[in-house]
Chains A and B, each alone.
Chain A
Amino acid sequence: MNRKKWIGNIVKYALYALVATFFIWAIANSYFDYIFTQSGTFLVLLRQHVVLVLVSSILAILVAVPAGVLITRPKFKKAEWLVSNVANLGQTIPSLAVLALMISILGIGFKSAVFALFIYSILPIFRNTVAGIDSIDKNMIDAAKGMGMKPHQILFRVELPNSAYSILAGIRTAVVLNIGTAALAYVVGAGGLGVWIFTGINLFDNGFLISGAIPVTLLAILADYILRKIEYIVVPKGSRRIEKA
């Protein structure tokens, strides 16, 4: 046990050192300069990136969670494989192809990018919602029924709170992936920090590349952190302990 902890610490500090070295190297080469010398552009790109992710993620949550709930109702249970497969299909089309296809329908820019990101975010949320609700102990639902709860009461008081951890885990996966994928929005002219990443690739300029890529990474870490906090608040104490065990 002690040795394990020791090795764990070494790995942890080695990683910290690696990250610190990277930042020192990047700052020494003034690779972050564009963020300060072109801060106007940077803020525009950052705003575009955040808006793309927010709009597409919220739309995906609004569609995928109710769809997951609906499909676990006894009436629709039989259609589950169909809906799951459709959601799967969305994920299997390469994101670049979705973007390119959408141009002909939604035009160039924001709408196409949001739609592609939305399609991409649905599956993880939908899957986790279904899995979370399906994993609830049947005895618990029987008990709720025995107490005289109506179906909607069972849903809101038993099923959703107990699957909250799983649903939020799905949302977290979707949002973090979404932030990275949104860098492709440049291709269809929807802006975002991907613009600087592609500029860096085309001009072979590490300054642009890193000024674009690091904020995207930090954004993903920040989003993950915020969602973890939300999870801590939303998930009831009882099921939190179960999940962690």
Chain B
Amino acid sequence: MNLLKLIPLLITAVILSACSGIGVTGKEVTVGGKNFTEQYLLSEMTAFLLVEEGFKVNQMNNLGSSVVRSALENGQVDMMWEYTGTALITYMGEDSIADPEAAFEKVKENDIKNDIHWMNMSDVNNTYALAMRSEQSEELGIKSISDLSDYINANPGELTMAADAEFANRSDGLPGVEDTYGFEFGSDQVRQMDLGLTQRTLNNEQVDVSVAFETDATIRNYDLVVLEDDKRFFPPYRAAVAINQEVFEKYPEIEEITARLADSLNSDIMRELNYLVDIEGQSVSVVAYDWLVENDFLEEE
């Protein structure tokens, strides 16, 4: 599924790099991205804007979080949209911070020593969540993660969960949720699969709980409910631009170019754009381009 989504992207990347190659300006950046729709969109929009400003843009997409992070640290990727929560907890091993601004400042401060500069925090909050089918959630009376924990402790081995390898093994993912709320699914009950499939599996009634994101379009489409995080385990995951310090000093204009994008985006818009790609099946490039044109970032050609 992710592979199919990647094809239009690859084509555009090739076209983009070919186009900018003509007007040799010498300005070149590599934009990285992770392996889900929102990241493809953010990376694609950024690439369009940078190309518009005369950059030659390379894209390195469809990478796991930790992989793209290492690429950013060792300079294979110059910039990317990263989430404050992911950086704080997974990369830096810190405790989560509930206030988005404070989390952003902390991440920015910590990353100075890694030569990574953070800027332009957006209102896009791609925090993790647990989802269930609304019908079943009503039937079992599970509205919050605490309810889920109580139910699982009373009926061990009954409910199953779909998760991708990352969520199932990250400390700010399922293991952390289980620790905080005091329950355990058991290895046989957690079915790990490609991220693109988890909610489809839930919708097909093959599992009872699935990992979800706040900006996820499928929640609405499949009539799922997001379980309330009543102990506030999941911290904010605000998307912001993380850029290599050297590259930032070389091209400080990138801050301004991406600032308007960061200011305009929020979780609702992101969910809508994700919907166009994931549910309506439009290509990432088309959705990104159309949105940029509609919002006067680009002139239609």
Residues on A lying within 8 angstroms of B by beta carbon are: 38, 40-41, 44-45, 96, 100, 103, 107-109, 186-189, 191, 195, 198-199, 201-205, 208
Which candidate, B141-149, B193-201, B225-233, B261-269, is the interface stretch facing chain A? B193-201
The answer, yes or no, to whether B180 is at the interface (CB within 8 Å) is no
Q: Does B166 reach chain A (CB closer than 8 Å)?
A: yes
Instruction: Say yes or no: B169 contacts A191, CB within 8 Å.
Output: no
A-B contact list, 16 entries, CB within 8 Å? A40-B186, A96-B3, A108-B204, A108-B206, A109-B201, A186-B165, A187-B194, A188-B193, A188-B197, A199-B168, A201-B64, A202-B64, A202-B165, A203-B65, A203-B169, A203-B170
Taking A203-B66, A205-B66 as contacts, is the C-beta distance between A189 and B201 under 8 angstroms? Answer: yes
Select B165's contact among A38, A109, A188, A203, beta carbons within 8 Å: A203
How close is B39's CB to chain A, nearest CB, in angstroms?
13
- CB pair B187–A40 under 8 Å, yes or no, is yes
- Are A202 and B194 touching (Cβ within 8 A)? no
Q: Are A186 and B193 in contact (CB under 8 A)?
A: yes
| Contact in complex: B192, A202 (CB < 8 Å) | no
B108 vs chain A, min Cβ distance (A): 22
Q: Contact at A187–B66, with CB atoms within 8 Å?
A: no
| Contact (A208, B169) CB under 8 Å given A96-B3, A188-B193 | yes
A215–B252 Cα distance when bound, in Å, is 49
Q: How far is the CA of A199 from the CA of B171 in the complex (A)?
A: 13
- Chain A residues contacting B187 (CB-CB under 8 Å) are 38, 40-41, 44-45
Chain B contacts for A187, CB-based, 8 A: 193-194, 197
Q: Are B166 and A203 touching (Cβ within 8 A)?
A: yes
Interface of A, helix, strand, loop or mixed by DSSP: helix
| B-side contacts of A204, CB under 8 Å | 64, 66-67, 69-70
Residue of B nearest to A38 (CB): B187
- Does B22 lie at the interface of the complex (its beta carbon under 8 Å from any beta carbon of A)? no
Chain A residues whose C-beta falls within 8 Å of the C-beta of B193 in the assembled complex: 108, 186-189
Q: Is the CB of B165 within 8 A of A198?
A: yes
Q: Shortest Cβ distance from A9 into chain B, in angstroms?
A: 41
Q: Which residue from B65, B186, B191, B206 sits with its C-beta under 8 Å from A202?
A: B65
**Chain B, range 172-195, C-beta contacts under 8 Å to A:** 186-188, 191-194
Q: Could you tell me the distance between the alpha carbons of A109 and B169 in the complex, rounded to whole angstroms?
A: 20
Whole-angstrom CA separation of A195 from B206 in the bound complex: 18
What are the residues of chain A within 8 A of B69 when measuring CB–CB? 204
Q: Once bound together, how far apart are the Cα atoms of A195 and B214, in whole Å?
A: 25
Q: B206 contacts which chain A residues (CB < 8 A)?
A: 107-109
For B290, the chain A residues whose CB sits under 8 A away are none
Add 9 more A-B contacts to A41-B187, A189-B192, A189-B194 (CB < 8 A).
A40-B187, A44-B188, A100-B4, A187-B197, A188-B194, A188-B197, A202-B67, A203-B166, A204-B64
**Which chain B residue lies CB-closest to A39?**
B187
Interchain CB contact under 8 A, B192 and A195:
yes
- Residues from chain A with a CB closer than 8 A to the CB of B192 are 186, 189, 191, 195, 198-199
Chain B residues within an 8 Å CB radius of A205: 66
Partner of A108, one of B3, B186, B200: B200
Question: B residues within 8 A CB of A202?
Answer: 35, 64-67, 164-166
On whether the beta carbons of A199 and B166 are closer than 8 Å, the reply is yes
Shortest CB distance B128–A (Å): 15
Whether a CB of chain A sits under 8 angstroms from the CB of B60 is: no
CA distance A208 to B70 in the complex (A): 17
Q: Which among A38, A202, A205 has the highest number of chain B CB atoms within 10 Å?
A: A202
The verdict on B116 contacting chain A, using a C-beta distance below 8 Å, is no
Instruction: Determine if B165 and A199 form an interchain contact, defined as CB atoms under 8 angstroms apart.
Output: yes
**B1 touching A203, Cβ below 8 Å:** no
